[in-house]
Structure 1
Amino acid sequence: MDADLEDMDEIEKLVAEDDDSEEMMQVCPVCGSPDLYYETGGVEGLYHCKYCDYIGSFIIDANEEMARMIRKEYDSEARNTA
C-alpha cells in the first residue's frame, strides 16, 4: 500500500512540473489558431479569429500539442465537408 502512495506522489510531482514547463497560449476553439483579436475593441468581451472567422467569448488556453490537435481536427472536418 505504501508503494502505491509513493507512486501517486511521483505522478503528482511530474504533473506539477509538466504544468509549469508548458507554455500556454490562447487559441480559437474552432480551428486552434492563436491569431485572435478583440472584436469591437474588447468592449463586448468577444474574440475574433483571423483564420476561421469565429466570433465569441469562449477561447481555449492550450499548449502547443493541444492547439495542434484542434487544428488537425478542424482541417479534417473542412476536407470532409468540401
Structure 2
Amino acid sequence: MIWSLIIGAISGWAAGKIMRGHGFGLWVNIIVGVIGAYIGGLALSLFGFSHYGTIGQIITSIIGASILLWFVRLFNGNRVKT
C-alpha cells in the first residue's frame, strides 16, 4: 500500500512535469499517479504490453497519468496558448 503511494507520487510528479511543466503538490500527485497506474496498465494491456518490476510500474504510471492529464486538459477551459 505505501509502495503504491510512493510510486503514485513519483509518477504524478513526473507526469505533471511532462504535461504542465510543474508538479501539483504531494496529494494531487499521488491521486494522479494512482489513477494513472490503472489507466496506464489498461492502455498498455490493450496493445499487448505488460510491465515488470518497479521501473515498469513507474513507467506505466507515468504513461497513464500523462493520458489522464491530457484528457483533463482536453475538457478543461484553461488551455495554454502557444
**Which of the pair has more CA radius of gyration?**
1
TM-score, structure 1 normalization: 0.29
Higher relative contact order (CA 8 A, sep 6+): 2
Identify, as 1 or 2, the structure richer in helix.
2
* TM-score after normalising by structure 2: 0.29
